[in-house]
Amino acid sequence: MVTLNPYLSFTGQAREAMEFYRSVLGGELTLSTFGESGMGEGAEADQIMHAQLETPAGITLMGADTPEGMPYTPGDNISISLSGPASDESELRRYWEGLSEGATPGVPLDKAPWGDWFGMLTDRYGVGWMVNIAGQ
């Protein structure tokens, strides 16, 4: 089975951001630093070369710090959508509440014209999130 995993880029905040996402979404987080792989020196050695969060709900979220000299524009070309049936409403609302901490509001989580509950925000790390809870 082919899976599609969002991969987020950060500049020195990958560990903090991925731990935050684990606190919201739950699951197991694995982290590898540039230093552990022999690819970084000095301050960059402690930065995250690869992070992977596997959640109980089947969500896989990956991320890394952007090495010096590589382009980085936070939140410019990615949004992450969390969606599910009405039976997962409490879980999706919990994700929304957690992601909302320190976020820039977009569209409040509210009843949408198509009958679902929908909201958008940009989290404190510049990543856009959409939450959609299917109507009854």
Q: Are residues 63 and 8 in contact, defined by beta-carbon separation less than 8 angstroms?
A: yes
> Rounded mean pLDDT of 32-44?
83
Gap between the Cα atoms of 48 and 26, Å rounded = 20
Mean pLDDT, residues 101-129: 94
* For residues 19-34, average pLDDT: 97
Distance CA 106, CA 126 (A): 12
Residue 1: pLDDT band (50, 70, 90) is low
The domains spanning 7-65 and 79-133 adopt the same CATH topology: yes
Mean pLDDT across 70-84? 82
State which fold the 7-65 domain adopts: 2,3-Dihydroxybiphenyl 1,2-Dioxygenase; domain 1 (3.10.180)
* Tokens at 89, concatenated: 């409403």
What are the contacts of 29-33 at 24+ separation with CB within 8 A?
29/53
According to DSSP, residue 25 is labeled: H
Domains of the chain, residue spans: 7-65, 79-133
pLDDT at 51: 96
Q: Is the pLDDT of residue 97 over 90?
A: yes
Instruction: Give domain 79-133's CATH number out of 3.30.1370.60, 3.10.180.10, 1.20.120.420, 3.30.70.2740.
Output: 3.10.180.10
